[in-house]
Amino acid sequence: MKEVNIKNFAQEVKQSEIPVLVDFYADWCGPCQMLSPIIHEIAEAYQGKLKVVKANVDHAPELAMEFGVASIPTLLFFQEGSVQGTSVGFIDKNGMEQKLQAWGVS
């Protein structure tokens, strides 16, 4: 899974031809560690329909500030370069799939 930062964010997320799910996380965050395997499952299940990337808030604090990420994990759903959906806190796989369907990813 690709790590994004301020240098590659525009290319990887804003200019993506398919929707992008950005996982804002930190290595020390317990709920982020619980969410990580679910994020990997989602990335595999939706390959070709949804691009999934990770943004470590400790390595890319400017991205967290730009998008108002105050708590982690935070998931931002981008379509055509702009945020179309947000999820804050741990979410199980069923909840994640429901959000993706609500955001138009199937």
Q: Which of 20, 32, 91, 96 is catalytic?
A: 32
* Dist. CA 8–CA 74, nearest whole Å: 19
One-letter amino acid at 65 equals M
Active site residue 89: no
Active site residue 32: yes
Q: At what angle do helices 93-102 and 30-45 cross, to 10 degrees?
A: 60
Q: Which of 13, 22, 29, 55 is catalytic?
A: 29
List residues with catalytic annotation.
29, 32
